Amino acid sequence: MTITIKVNGAARSVDADPDTPLLYVLTNDLELKGPRFGCGLAQCGSCSVLADGVEIRSCQTPISDVGQRAITTLEGLPALYAQQRKLPKAPDLHPLQQAFIDEQALHCGYCYNGQTIKGAELLSRTTSPTEAQIRDHMNGHLCRCGTYPRIMKSIQAAAAKMSKEG
Amino acid sequence: MNLSLNRRSFLTASSALVVAYAMNGPAKAQNPPGPPHKRRGVDAKQVDSYFVINADGTVTLYSGKVDLGTGHRIALPQIVADELGIEIERIAMIEGDTHLTPDQGSTSGSNGMMRGGVQTRQAAATARAALIKLGAARLGLPEADLDTAQGEVRAKNGSASVTFAALLAGGQFNLELDSKAPRRKPSEYRYVGKPVRRPDMPGKATGAHVWMHDFAVEGMLHGRSIYPPRPGARLVSVDEASIADIPGVKVVRIKDYLGVVAEREWHAEKAARQLKAQWDGGGLVTTSAQAQAYLRETGPRDTDEVAEKTGDFDAAWPQAVTKIKADYHWPMQSHASLGPSCAIADVRDGEATIWTASQGTHKFAEAFDGILQLPKGKVRQIYLDGAGCYGMNGHDDAAIDAAILSRAVGKPVRVQWSRADELAWDPKGPPQTLTIEAGLDGNQRVSTWRAHMWIPRPTPKLPNVPLVSPQLAGLPQMQGVATGSINIGAVPTYDIPHMEAVVHYVKDTPVRTSPLRAPGKLANLMAAESMMDALALGAGKDPLAFRLDHLKDPRSLDVLKKTAELHDWRPRVEPRRDGKGRGVAFTHYKGNETYVAMAVDVEVDRGTGAIRVTRVSCAHDCGQVISPDGVRAQIEGCLIQGVSRTLFEETRFDRERVTSVDWSSYRVIAFPEVPELKIALIDRPDKPPVGAGEAAIAPVAAAISNAVFDATGVRLQSAPFTPQRVRAAMAQSGTTAG
């Protein structure tokens, strides 16, 4: 059946079974490559996207459950950031994406879609997170390579930059 | 910034498209120089296998070793840029394509730089000498007056120059690697030893990167394998009616191999879950709880061997004044890649193209020739990034699954494993059990040391880890056991006069194995370095000072001293027993590679038994440091993953199947448990670069074990160090809770 969802600011119609996980619609039908399959069980966070600014696991979200919620994927993060911060124009990168590059945080990078989405969710709520808040908020996003220290450092660096910019 | 890779154009382009990493920006999908399908020479002895000098002044670098998330993709161009004399921005790199890149062996055992980098450097040095020779003839100047820089051969006095492209564009070197070709001096380096940003980060941070999981080819179907409920079970019958409600699914059955393909991925996945099949027999020979007994007693015995011997243990043992003996056990563990194994295969018309995240494309291309019964050289494997693998995970299994399905349906097929497939069926790190007995002489020095190891015997000359589906489908492949060199490390590099390592081999493993990061070393060092701690205590010495007393080699001494400084080590001669502790461990990895020492702080909740590692300090000497931030990143990864493997990880299995098949039953470290890290790199620009990918994980379990002893007065000898084990050990030793 044809289902219309709102993704990265645009209405997108796809022909899919209603029980199809949102992840497969995003990656296979809409050809978005931010969200990634990690476990299919909502345990690792590789597939995370924002729904009305709140992080959800797209692998465990049937397309029929999306409804009117506005989905933002990694690709749409700079535009969402501009909207949240009332900037005239979307930057090339969300400050956290830039911080991850600046810190050379990634190893394999497979989990970084989720780390970025979840970290951006935190930064949309506070630009002065403590280390304890970061650990708590990010818990549930696994990184097998062990880049956690650089993720935490990057979130703090992005927060500092955002605070400075007001 | 230019995020140039457009997925749609990628999809519609030639199926032989190659991903080249340009060092000046994100990855671009581009055809390699020359005719796109032209197979190149892949002989690792030939300079032309490594480089092409392009007419536009750029250099294309071909690497048989691949970047597994390790930073190889920047470290290798750093070496080549310096050695050839060209700006790094003018290098593009292509990795792991069996038709294009040199056959340098698998990317494993931390050998990317140690072997691949050194080999490629020699190729570059040979190329540079040849370019200088050509330049001398062209410029009419003696070779001694010439150097290379910025892609040119130049007179040292600046009087004349000619570009590499003018000398050789389109041409070939036609040279073998010359081991005597002069190499740059470290003082001439512009890139080596300095942090240079990885070319793949922007794409990975934005979603533009081409992962194996994103890649797609025209007309591709989605496939899933349905593995037996018990290894070795026979497939009796398949009830295709059970998936009649899912449109467009085709069932593929070849002997005991069962798979499905569909146009839509969700349909393939649903069908794989829903398809009813009847299986008969099968199971596992033992359980994870009985693995130690299997290795020591109940498993099929193979030969015993003396693996290492110094002095005469038997003669010296009676003279030892203090004697200590202890048993140690390490469980099977999964590579537990965060992304599942994935591959695409197109097997048609007597040829096969396989896109894969394999660590060993050349090796597996050859293996696939055999399995698919194609003439030699008919399988092309092309590397694309997967999730980090830390040893051989399921990538090659997913690849052969895709090939089997593709051949059956005559179309390209993409296979992606499920989380349960990954944790149940990836080849595991083998189980190990050890006993060490060691003694002190009258001077309180270690005089005698004997390690007994009970481990699976790796099959000699086994070309690759046997894959699951060829076994099920009755396709030919060599059988055997692969473990990596798990028999190293139980005998330390300390100055001990009488030492012996005895290996008691078992013929098989309960669950299929393959090398897992620092194969065997976590267990062997946990045993050896925990024993060294016990001996220090027996001698009434501080454990760090005791180690220094037993080492002469300055590089060994340096890493330990640096660790003491990083961690503000305070000498102690008995455990604190107040719930807080610190431990030290050291290794000269494999006896001839990287030097690593580390100290850790732990807090042990004596009520619950939970251990928290709060701080790790590590000093690391891997010889010449090519890419300092890359080395630092690898050490960080080793330390965190080491804590995870020590505290949490165990592949559990009963007599039917692996039961730890998701992230709650196979737990790995998460944000709350991450310790503070302090790392010091000791750079030795005049020494050869050795591995940095795994040495630092090797002593982690040992350091934690020693810290827990300091905190509790109890030695943990079975990993993982779960709260239950801590409580049980404390109860046994009479240490009271609370």
CB proximity A79 to B under 8 Å: no
Domain final position from B145, B180, B206: B206
Residue B488 placed within a domain? yes
Please give the ipTM for the structure prediction: 0.98
Q: Say how far residue B622 (Cα) sits from the centre of its chain.
A: 16
Backbone angles phi, psi at B420, to 5 degrees: -65, -40
Cα–Cα dist B420/B84, whole Å: 47
- pLDDT surpasses 70 at B10: no
Cα–Cα nearest to B543, from B557, B532, B558: B532
Chain A residues closer than 8 Å to B268 by CB: none
Tell me if B201 and A101 make a contact (CB, 8 A cut-off): yes
Burial of B219 (0-12, 13-18, 19+ CB in 10 A): exposed
A-B C-beta contacts closer than 8 Å:
168
Looking at the structure, tell me whether residues B132 and B242 fall in a common domain. Answer: no
Backbone angles phi, psi at B44, to 5 degrees: -70, -10
Q: Say how far residue B433 (Cα) sits from the centre of its chain.
A: 22
> Where are any strands of DSSP class E within chain A?
2-7, 10-15, 48-51, 54-57, 70-72
Residue B674 placed within a domain? yes
Split at pLDDT 50, 70, 90, the class of B111 is confident
CB proximity A75 to B under 8 Å: yes
Residue B709 placed within a domain? yes
Share of chain B above pLDDT 90, in %: 91
**3-state per-residue secondary structure call for B461-520:** CCCCCCCHHHHHHCCCCCCCCCCCCCCCCCCCCCCCCEEEEEEEEECCCCCCECCECCCC
Looking at the structure, tell me whether residues B650 and B715 fall in a common domain. Answer: yes
CB proximity A143 to B under 8 Å: yes
Chain A residues closer than 8 Å to B338 by CB: 38, 44, 46, 108, 110-111, 142-145
Burial of B683 (0-12, 13-18, 19+ CB in 10 A): middle
Cα–Cα dist B437/B26, whole Å: 55
Identify the closest residue of chain B to A34 by CA–CA distance: B207
Token pair, residue B321, equals: 């004044």
Range of the domain at B44: 7-206
Residue B214 placed within a domain? no
Backbone angles phi, psi at B19, to 5 degrees: -90, 120
CB B51 within 8 A of CB B32: no
What is the reported pLDDT for B25? Answer: 55
What is the reported pLDDT for B199? Answer: 93
Residue B301 placed within a domain? no
Domain final position from B174, B206, B238: B206
Looking at the structure, tell me whether residues B193 and B243 fall in a common domain. Answer: no
Helices B700-712/B723-733 angle, 10° precision: 50
Looking at the structure, tell me whether residues B201 and B225 fall in a common domain. Answer: no
- 3-state SS class at B416: strand
Integer CA distances (angstroms), B586 to B503, B644, B705, B710, in order = 23, 19, 13, 17
Cα–Cα dist B92/B23, whole Å: 6
Looking at the structure, tell me whether residues B674 and B540 fall in a common domain. Answer: yes
CB proximity A15 to B under 8 Å: no
Tell me if A17 and B419 make a contact (CB, 8 A cut-off): no
Cα–Cα nearest to B225, from B171, B186, B272: B272
Looking at the structure, tell me whether residues B453 and B556 fall in a common domain. Answer: yes
Cα–Cα nearest to B228, from B243, B238, B216: B238
Chain B residues closer than 8 Å to A93 by CB: 1, 205-206
What is the reported pLDDT for B418? Answer: 98
Q: Domain containing B77 — which CATH number?
A: 3.30.365.10
- pLDDT surpasses 50 at B288: yes
DSSP string, B238-281: EEGGGGTTSTT-EEEEETTEEEEEESSHHHHHHHHHH-EEEEE-
- Mutation target vs A (from B338, B612, B629, B669; most A CBs, 10 A cutoff): B338
Looking at the structure, tell me whether residues B244 and B381 fall in a common domain. Answer: yes
Query: How many domains is chain B partitioned into structurally?
Result: 3
Chain A residues closer than 8 Å to B641 by CB: 144-146
- The mean-pLDDT minimum among B34-43, B438-447, B468-477, B555-564 falls in B34-43
What is the reported pLDDT for B17? Answer: 58
All residues at 6 or more sequence positions from B570 whose CB lies less than 8 Å from its CB, including other chains: none
- Give the count of beta carbons closer than 10 Å to the beta carbon of residue B205: 28
| C-alpha distance from A164 to closest chain B C-alpha (Å) | 23
Looking at the structure, tell me whether residues B359 and B453 fall in a common domain. Answer: no
Residue B586 placed within a domain? yes
Is omega for the bond preceding A18 within 30 degrees of 0, making it cis? no
Tokens 């001996």 correspond to what residue? B535
Residue B330 placed within a domain? no
Identify which of B202, B637, B639 has the shortest CB distance to residue A107: B637
Split at pLDDT 50, 70, 90, the class of B30 is very low
Q: Which residues pair with B322 in a beta bridge?
A: B440
Average pLDDT, chain A: 97
Give me the mean pLDDT over the A95-117 stretch. 98
**3-state per-residue secondary structure call for B607-627:** CCCCEEEEEEEEEEECCCCCC
Domain final position from B391, B416, B441: B416
CB proximity A54 to B under 8 Å: no
Helices B521-539/B628-647 angle, 10° precision: 80
- pLDDT surpasses 50 at B14: no
Which domains does chain A carry? 2-73 (3.10.20.30), 76-165 (1.10.150.120)
Looking at the structure, tell me whether residues B528 and B626 fall in a common domain. Answer: yes
- Give the count of beta carbons closer than 10 Å to the beta carbon of residue B173: 20
- pLDDT surpasses 60 at B81: yes
Cα–Cα dist A55/A66, whole Å: 13
Residue B484 placed within a domain? yes
Tell me if B266 and A20 make a contact (CB, 8 A cut-off): yes
- pLDDT surpasses 70 at B663: yes
What is the reported pLDDT for B170? Answer: 77
Interior/surface letters A84-111, b for 16+ CB within 10 angstroms, e for the rest: eeeeeebeebbbbbbbbbbbbbbbbbbb
Token pair, residue A68, equals: 């009117």
Determine how β-strand B161-163 pairs with β-strand B322-330. unpaired
Looking at the structure, tell me whether residues B393 and B483 fall in a common domain. Answer: no
For residue range B164-209, what is the model confidence (pLDDT) as tens digits? 999 997 789 999 999 999 999 999 999 999 999 999 999 999 999 9
- pLDDT surpasses 90 at A72: yes
For residue range A132-166, what is the model confidence (pLDDT) as tens digits? 999 999 999 999 999 999 999 999 999 999 999 87
Tell me if B214 and A150 make a contact (CB, 8 A cut-off): no
Give me the mean pLDDT over the B14-24 stretch. 63
For residue range B533-571, what is the model confidence (pLDDT) as tens digits? 999 999 999 999 999 999 999 999 999 999 999 999 999
Tell me if A111 and B68 make a contact (CB, 8 A cut-off): no
Looking at the structure, tell me whether residues B226 and B355 fall in a common domain. Answer: yes
- pLDDT surpasses 80 at B291: yes
Give me the mean pLDDT over the B265-273 stretch. 98
Looking at the structure, tell me whether residues B539 and B571 fall in a common domain. Answer: yes
DSSP string, B143-196: GGGEEEETTEEEETTSS-EEEHHHHHTT-----B--TTSPPPPGGG-SSTTS--
- Give the count of beta carbons closer than 10 Å to the beta carbon of residue B404: 27
